[in-house]
Amino acid sequence: MRKYLSLAGVVLLIVSVAACGTDDSTSVIDGESLSGSELTVYSGRSEELIGSLFADFESATGINLNVRYGDSAELAAQLLEEGNNSPADIFISQDAGSLGAVAESGMLTTLDDEILNLAPSEYQAESGAWVGLTARARVFAYDPVKVTELPDSIDDLLDPKWNGKIGIAPTNASFQAFVTALRQLRGEVAAETWLAGIAANNPVAYEKNSMIVEAINAGEIELGLVNHYYIYEVAEALGGEINVKNGFFAAGDPGNLINVSGAGILNTARNSAGAAELIKYLLSNESQNRFVSDTNEYSILEEVPSPQGLPTFADIGTPVVDLDALKDVRLTQEMLVRVGLL
Amino acid sequence: MSKTKNAVTPSQELAGGIAVPRMLQISALFVLFLASIPLGYLLLRATASGFAAASAVLLREKTVSTLITTAGLAILVALFSAIIGISSAWLIQRTNLPLPGLFLVLGTLALAVPSYVSTYAWIALIPSFAGFAAAVFILSLTTAPYVLLAALALLRRIDATQEESARALGLTASQVARRVIWPQSRPTIFASLLLVMLYVLSDFGAVSLLRVDTFTRVVHTMYKATFDRSAAAVVALILVLLAAILIYAEYKARGSAVAAKSGLGSIRTTNRIDLGFKKYLAASYLLIIAIASLGVPIYVLITRFVSVAAEINVSNLVSATIATASAALSGASLAMLFAIPLGILAARYSGRLSSYAEFGILLTHALPAVVIGLALVALGSRLGFLYQSLPLLAFSYAVLFLAKAVGLIRTSIARVPRVYDDISRSLGNNNWQTIRKITIPIAAPGVITGFLLVLLTAMKELPATLMLRPTGFDTLAIEIWTQTSISQYGQAAPYALILVLVAAIPTYLLSRPDRAQSSESRENMTL
């Protein structure tokens, strides 16, 4: 037994020594001493989509980033569980809903006007708890060979000719945000009527937006409700051209919802000055241009042009929605359950 | 819940008077505490919003359909897994199947493919691949190797002389199967099927990609969509209840069969059955299973990888491999450390304490990893520097996979006649010396097998790793998740292939036919 105990002791020792190397918490008092300080980032944006900007930020400012990548909603759940003990300084999320949930629990600090003034107010929390970083449009992705007459409105999709040909992702945060917006825009009854109509058209349900685009490309369905950038992602993953295009509904249609990715700073941040620097960096013209060219997302800044080949928000005619309210998807889920889509 | 109750020997009954060594008592209490962390967390969360809110979640219509889906999936997967696993084992061990060694390795290697990877592969091949039937298909293939290994060890153990005597007394082949083989196999088969069902209850990767609403998926959906931790905890508690019913049912159904051979002498096995030309049919059957569980994922990974001509980031690949190995190795070591005392206690000093501890860890086994992850986040974030450190990650693996380890150690100890302990004591050794000199050496093969199995499972673990890993500590599973979450299946392929390769090492060691001395402990192979 002694042999086993000592073996275990060695294992534990190695393990704890290895762990000690990772812990560091430098507190920062004034802006001058930011270089060399540590900043812990919880990032719902994956490394592929933001990692190079983080690296450039590090070399530009000398601030060392400890980035924890994860799923936005799971990181939000983790932050809620950690509460005041959270090691995170800043939370970057892929959707407004996750930011809203963390903000609601009072864990996010109100951002300085210096930051809030950088971006248009419709893409940030009214309370100033978080600010948008990039924007994405809801679109319909379609098979340009089979679909010759494009729908003008989400109501056109209720036509029986679409029976079994539409793909949706009812469990996905982006689809649920769209339904929440629909409830805001048209009211509960009209929203449920539309959902029931879609359900009656036997849509094919997928887990992810990218699976919808792949299914259109494979000829299994003809049209799907997704975010605009998925056709680029899937084309890259499949290594070439795909037979899928983005389409927009008529101006003002709820199907043209704009949602944002964004960032907020924790109340308990040890390096809130560094966190503020990071947000400013990500909202700079240069970073915004890179989001547009690298990930085909829309910039949050009006002066930065749209991704190549895509109309501007003004041309799309996006509906006016309170993004802060998109976090409340409980009623949306109940509605989806009632019509049988969840 | 102690399995040793089935194999009570007269000397064990006498052992009632022997005091449980203090070390073991303390260890068992400690393990009981570990198992109670996630359950305690769930209870706290579930009751946080009050009775009315909890009953509103419980009484909604969705609960009934989820219950039917979850229970139906668990039962069907157990059934198919048993059919595939037992038939494969029988063909490999008892017939003149060509290349039995190859089919054994192929049948076991499927363990090296994480269920989320094989599900992705099937969806890539057939985009409409989804739904209940698809989930039964994938999960049966994923869990069949565990039943295969258990059944194989069983077939190796059953003494041929018993079968021959029965035949000589005029019993037909089916009567031999029913009256000689089945009573001896039942406890093992039921135990492995219970673990298959608990696996199905806790699986997230396959059911989410295939859009089958089991309780685990509903828990995830609730966390993600509403951030309502109380409602999610209530649903998770229903899952715990379902698991408890299954554990109890298995305990009752297993019966009181005596699952021991008469002595320690070597076992003679029967001659292999000549299948004639049907042996090629049998070989094609096993080949089809291998293609479905192993061939398809590897084919899809390689073709996706080639089609995008993805650049391989060698340094990332190496660091992810090291991260995977170090996390899994320390997790498996810790799990065995926790499991050894409990295994000894369960096998040698069965009583209320060991029953509770065992029941607790089996229940924990059915919990979605996200629940265990969040429980350890709630606890760990109060531990300062330990939070998001490798020791805490290893600890979470130990909690997650303890059930695998304890079952194996217990079985391998329980197989050895209690009389050895009595002899040791009569020679003047005290309890502790007996454990050290007799029990631990006997348990060693089970410990090694358990270690390999926990190692294998920990390598593939994702949800708890995401929450508890040190920041920047990216395992292969994390890298695969990172790439697939933005549809970069080609970029994910090298990581997935390396994971399959690395996981193949413990898998191969588990399947090696020459590890005969541990084949008995493999019989209670747990998921």
The predicted model gives B135-147 an average pLDDT of 94
Q: What is the pLDDT of residue A138?
A: 94
To the nearest 10°, report the CA torsion of B152, B153, B158, B160: 60
Band of pLDDT at residue B268, cut at 50, 70 and 90: low
CA–CA gap between residue B101 and residue A67 (Å, rounded)? 46
Residue B388 Cα to chain centre, angstroms? 25
CA dihedral over B506, B510, B515, B519, signed as positive or negative: positive
Give the closest residue to B435 by CA, choosing from A289, A4, A272: A4
CB A80 within 8 A of CB A247: no
Give the other-Cβ count within 10 Å of A31's Cβ: 10
A304-315 confidence digits (pLDDT tens): 999 988 998 888
Q: What is the pLDDT of residue B427?
A: 86
Collect all residues of chain B within an 8 Å Cβ-Cβ radius of residue A215.
Answer: 127-128
Q: What is the mean pLDDT of chain B?
A: 81
Q: ∠ CA B84-B88-B93 to the nearest 5 degrees?
A: 155
CA–CA gap between residue A148 and residue A18 (Å, rounded)? 60
CA distances to A5, B295, B371, B470 from A9, rounded to whole Å, are 6, 41, 29, 21
Q: What is the pLDDT of residue B369?
A: 84
Q: What is the pLDDT of residue A26?
A: 41
Q: What is the pLDDT of residue A19?
A: 43
Question: Residue A262 phi/psi, 5° resolution?
Answer: -160, -175
Q: What is the pLDDT of residue A228?
A: 93
CB A331 within 8 A of CB A187: no
Residue B384 Cα to chain centre, angstroms? 32
Residue B264: both structure tokens together: 């320690």
Q: What is the pLDDT of residue B122?
A: 92
Which one-letter amino acid corresponds to residue B44? L
Inter-chain residue contact B482 with A48, CB threshold 8 Å: yes
Give the closest residue to B327 by CA, choosing from B452, B205, B470, B203: B470
Inter-chain residue contact B488 with A236, CB threshold 8 Å: yes
What is the DSSP secondary structure assignment for residue A108, as one 8-state letter? B
Q: Which chain B residue lies closest to A216 (C-alpha atoms)?
A: B127
B217-256 confidence digits (pLDDT tens): 888 877 776 677 788 888 888 898 999 998 888 878 766 5
Inter-chain residue contact A77 with B436, CB threshold 8 Å: no
ipTM over the 0.85 cut-off: no
CB B297 within 8 A of CB B359: no
CA–CA gap between residue B176 and residue B178 (Å, rounded)? 5
Q: What is the pLDDT of residue B84?
A: 96
Which one-letter amino acid corresponds to residue B322? I
Number of A to B CB contacts under 8 A, please give it. Answer: 166
A142: β partners: A223, A245
CB A2 within 8 A of CB B440: no
Collect all residues of chain B within an 8 Å Cβ-Cβ radius of residue A233.
Answer: 486-488
| Candidate from A15, A234, A332 with C-beta closest to B390 | A15
| Candidate from A40, A98, A207 with C-beta closest to B209 | A207
Q: What is the pLDDT of residue B15?
A: 43
Residue A193 Cα to chain centre, angstroms? 28
CA–CA gap between residue A171 and residue B360 (Å, rounded)? 32
Q: What is the pLDDT of residue A268?
A: 95
Report which of residues A267 and B365 the model is more confident about.
A267
Q: What is the pLDDT of residue A328?
A: 73
Does residue B215 surpass a pLDDT of 70? yes
Residue A185: both structure tokens together: 């825009």
Does residue B486 surpass a pLDDT of 80? no
What is the DSSP secondary structure assignment for residue A153, as one 8-state letter? S
CA distances to A240, B518, B522 from B41, rounded to whole Å, are 48, 37, 33
Band of pLDDT at residue B363, cut at 50, 70 and 90: confident
The predicted model gives B491-503 an average pLDDT of 88
Q: Which chain A residue lies closest to B337 (C-alpha atoms)?
A: A8
Band of pLDDT at residue B19, cut at 50, 70 and 90: low
Give the closest residue to B462 by CA, choosing from A49, A102, A234, A71: A71
How far A104 CA lies from chain B's nearest CA (Å)?
A: 11
Q: What is the pLDDT of residue B410?
A: 76
Inter-chain residue contact B488 with A40, CB threshold 8 Å: no
Rounded to 10 deg, the angle between the A47-61 and A285-295 helix axes is 150
B389-433 confidence digits (pLDDT tens): 999 999 999 988 888 788 777 777 776 777 877 888 888 888 778
| Candidate from A8, A73, A211 with C-beta closest to B337 | A8
Helix (H, G, I), strand (E, B) or coil at A167: strand
CA–CA gap between residue B526 and residue B196 (Å, rounded)? 8
Q: Per-10-residue mean pLDDT for chain A, 342 residues long? A: 48 45 42 82 89 95 93 89 94 90 93 93 91 94 95 96 94 88 94 95 88 91 94 85 93 91 96 96 95 92 89 86 78 84 78
Collect all residues of chain B within an 8 Å Cβ-Cβ radius of residue A80.
Answer: 227, 229
How far A66 CA lies from chain B's nearest CA (Å)?
A: 6
B33-69 confidence digits (pLDDT tens): 887 888 888 888 888 877 777 777 777 777 888 999 9
Collect all residues of chain B within an 8 Å Cβ-Cβ radius of residue A329.
Answer: 225-226
The predicted model gives B274-279 an average pLDDT of 85
Does residue B13 surpass a pLDDT of 50? no
Band of pLDDT at residue B310, cut at 50, 70 and 90: low
A132: β partners: A262
A94: left (phi over 0), alpha (psi -120 to 50) or beta: alpha
Residue B421: both structure tokens together: 């302990």
A40: β partners: A66
> Residues of B498-525 as b/e, b for ≥16 C-beta within 10 angstroms?
bbbebbbebbebbbeeebeebbbbbbbb
CA distances to A219, B178, B349, B423 from B428, rounded to whole Å, are 78, 45, 20, 9
CA–CA gap between residue B49 and residue B227 (Å, rounded)? 13
Task: Please report, for chain B, how many H helices and E strands are present, in that order.
Answer: 26, 0
